[in-house]
Structures are given as C-alpha cells and as structure tokens.
Amino acid sequence: MCGCGEPRLGWGHCAPSPMLLLSLLLSAAPFGLLGEETRQVSLEVISGWPDFTQNLLHIRAVGTNSTLHYVWSSLGPPAVVLVATNTPHSVLRVNWTRLLSPNPDGGLMVLPKDSIQFSSALVFTRLLEFDSTNMSEEATQLLGKPYPPYSLGNFSWNNITDSLDPATLSATFRGHPVHDPTRAFANGSLTFKVQAFSTSGRPAQLPRLLHTAETCQLEVTLIGALPRGNHSLFGLEVATLGQGPSCPSVQEQHSIDDEYTPAVFQLDQLLWGSLSTGFMQWRPVAFSQKQGSRESALPCQVSPPHPTVEYSLLKSSIVQAFFGSQNSFCAFNLTFGTSRGPGYWDQYYLSWSMLLGVGPPPLDALSPLVLGIMAVALGTPGLMLLGGGLILLLRHKQYSDYQSIN
C-alpha cells in the first residue's frame, strides 16, 4: 500500500504537479466517455443428478452480440471457469456422469463451440498462514515462518442454494476443513461470495472496485477461525491456466486519485494475453473489520505467477471437465497484512475482494473531487485548453460514430 507525502486533503489526496495532472486528465478522459453497457444477467444453481450433494453456480450474462458464462464450483478446491462467446444464444452443457467421474474431461461444455472467443480459469488451492510474531522491525515486509497450509480441496462446502440472492445477483460458498483436529474452524469459516452485475457501478463497501456488466466480483472472507499463533498472517494461493510455456503477468497501475479506496493509489491486475481478452483485478488492500475503513486496511502483496506442477492441489473437476487434462498451470500467492499494524488477530476477520472479467479491464476515471482540485491548480487558461481538447475529442468521436453507421 502506498501513502503519500504531507499535503493531504480529506482522506489522503496528494497534490501533484500541474503538468502531471494535465497529462493524466487527458489520458483518463476518453475512457470516461465510454458508454455503459447493460446485460441480462441470470444466476442458476445446477444440481448434480443423481448425486444431489454437489452443485454448480452458473452466471450467464447476455449482451446484444455476446454471452459470458462464469461457472463457479466447489467440487474440489473453489474454482471458476470463465467463457466469452460471440453470440447471445450460447449455452452451458453439464454431463454430471462425466463431471463426477475420475476422468471428467468433456463434462462441461459451452455450445456452440466455435462461438467461444476466450476462456480461462482460476483455482483457489490453499489458505496460507504465517507466524509473524518474532519479525524484527526491519523485516516487517516479510511474512514469517509458514504454518502447514490448509488445502481447500479438503474443505466441505455449504449448499449455495440457500445463499442465492437474485436481487443482488450473489451467492456464497461457505467452507471449513473436513478434518479439523484442533477445531480451529469450530466457529469459523472461509467464504467465497460471488456477485454479478447487470450494469456498471461501484459498491458502497470498500475497496469500491468499479465493476461493469462484463465482470463478476469475488469477496473472500476468513471469519472466526482460530489462528495458530498470536500474530498470524494469512494468504491465498491461486492457480490459473498458463499460456503455453509462459505465465500471465501481474501489472501494477498507479494513480494520483484515491477517492474510492482511501490511501490506496494502486490497482493490480493479472492479464491473460492481450489487453482485451480477460483479467483479474484488485486493489492491494484487505480489511480486518466488516465495515472496511482506512484504520482496518491491510496491505496485500502478490508473488509473480510461476509454472506449477503440484497437480494434486489443482484437482478441480470443472477445470479439467472444460479444458481437458493437458494443461499447464501457473500459481501465485496473495498475502495479507504485515507483522505491524492491524491484522486478523484484532477481530478474527479478514476480507479481500477482486473482479474477474473479460474485455478491457474497467479503468477509474478521475473523481470529481480530484478534477476540482486540478481545475484550481491549473487555473482558467489550463481549463480553457482542456475544454477545447475535450470538445475536439467529442467531435471526433461523433464524427467517427457517424461514419461507421453509414
């Protein structure tokens, strides 16, 4: 997490130089002008037949020319398969006999196959815990000695039907270890709350990630579980499909604006391939209280994705069912907090959110407050210059729209 120097306004706004402001404003403006797209979003729980003890959550988001499918499941470790197609009519087919068999290849399909434009998957493999008790003052960035991790493939999960909320387009997977000899999860759980959106917007709750109808939000919460030390730090190990021999990269974007996520001037994203295929996006911050606030914010660190061969951890039926068994995987660790500052130990609560989506990742336009500060900083001549530039941009946009219609 990055702070900024002394000049602060409200909740930690910085005051950068006018030239920087001008270039940022000009580069941010065209994105702010993009129209909002809405989609017809439906959530469906698909139960296994004849075995009703398993279920899948299928999110289908239909646009004029495309359909996005997000399939979440807790068959094995929690996982999601995301598929984008170029038709509003593509459908998901599940063959439960195959999906639940030892060789699930072909148990999950999106048809017609040739409409698929992009597909990938995430698997949440392990919950990590580190002992940061004896970390020295200089080593606060280090996590400490790892405890044996919890393998999420060995968790048992609730029936998501009861948590399905069509009004908020959300559902929650709640799990705890099947074998829990120390009873650490007797009063605790790890939850994966999945939410879809039919239009763009921003939730009231921090980190207030900007979502679109192309995205799906995941909030992971650890609550009430007994830590194994007085100063335990937690983390999540995540695996994704590789692209041939290489792994997707994690990019950090910096901004001067923290209007929506106080004191966090960074946005991290993992991109599969080029900018317009698919992405995972998050603010490098987690919260140690239900009502997230600046005081309960913990930094979140990510390790670079690297190829992994620990297939036993990755045994996700839906991923194998859709992609087959010949895949390369990449894994990375997300870790939350430092030995100093707020932590899970405060209230036995930790939550972290991310967005998953296809197409170009949503980009924050500068907030009205920062624009106001800029206006003052730039003064009237600067504003006139900017205004002229914007009008030209708008004119140009209208003109090119007009051309493409003809």
Ligand X SMILES: *[C@@H]1O[C@H](CO)[C@@H](O)[C@H](O)[C@H]1NC(C)=O
Sites of contact with ligand X (CB under 6 A): 47, 52-53, 55, 64-65, 95, 97-98, 128, 131, 133-134, 146, 159, 161-162, 183, 186-187, 230, 237, 303, 308, 331-333
Distance of CA 219 to the CA centre of its chain: 8
278 vs 305 by CB, closer to ligand X: 305
Asked if 378 contacts 21 with a C-beta cutoff of 8 angstroms, the reply is: yes
Tell me how far, at minimum, the Cβ of 266 lies from ligand X, in Å. 21
Residue 52 or 402 having the CB closest to ligand X: 52
**Minimal distance, residue 396 CB to ligand X, in Å:** 20
Task: Closer to ligand X by CB, 95 or 367: give it.
Answer: 95
Angle at 232 between CA 226 and CA 234, to 5 degrees: 90
Smallest distance from the beta carbon of 391 to ligand X, in angstroms?
26
Task: State residue 163 phi and psi, 5-degree precision.
Answer: -100, 0
Neighbours of 333 (CB within 10 A): 18
Per the listing, tokens 């946005």 go with 267
Q: Please give the single-letter amino acid code of residue 397.
A: K
Q: 380 phi and psi, to 5 degrees?
A: -60, -45
Q: Closest separation between CB of residue 130 and ligand X, Å?
A: 7
The nearest distance, CB 312 to ligand X, in angstroms, is: 13
State which residue, 131 or 257, has the beta carbon closest to ligand X: 131
Which of 125, 139, 143, 132 is closest to 335 using CA atoms?
Answer: 143
Least distance (Å) from ligand X to the CB of residue 158?
9
Strands 285-287 and 297-302, by their bridges, are antiparallel
240 vs 296, which CB is nearer to ligand X?
Answer: 240
How many Å is the maximal CA-CA distance in the chain? 72
Is the separation of the CB atoms in 371 and 248 below 8 Å? no
Which of 262/305 has CB closer to ligand X? 305
Between CA 8 and CA 6 the distance in angstroms is 6
In whole angstroms, how close is the CB of 332 to ligand X at the nearest point? 5
Least distance to ligand X, CB of residue 372, Å: 34
- 313/366 with CB nearer ligand X: 313
The tokens describing 214, both together, are 């192309």
- Residues facing residue 194 across a β-bridge: 171, 218
Least distance to ligand X from the beta carbon of 261, Å?
A: 25
Q: What is the rounded distance in angstroms from the CA atom of residue 327 to the CA atom of residue 208? A: 34
Residue appearing with tokens 């009205």: 368
Q: Which residue number, 131 or 259, has a Cβ lying nearer to ligand X?
A: 131
- Bridge partners (DSSP) of residue 60 are 42, 69
Q: How far is CA 42 from CA 75, 183, 292, in A?
A: 21, 38, 29
Q: Which is nearer to ligand X, 94 or 374 (CB)?
A: 94
Closer of 290 and 306 to ligand X (Cβ): 306
What is the separation, in whole angstroms, between the first and last Cα of the chain?
49
Min dist CB 88 to ligand X, Å, is: 9
Amino acid at residue number 203 = P
58: three-class secondary structure by DSSP: strand
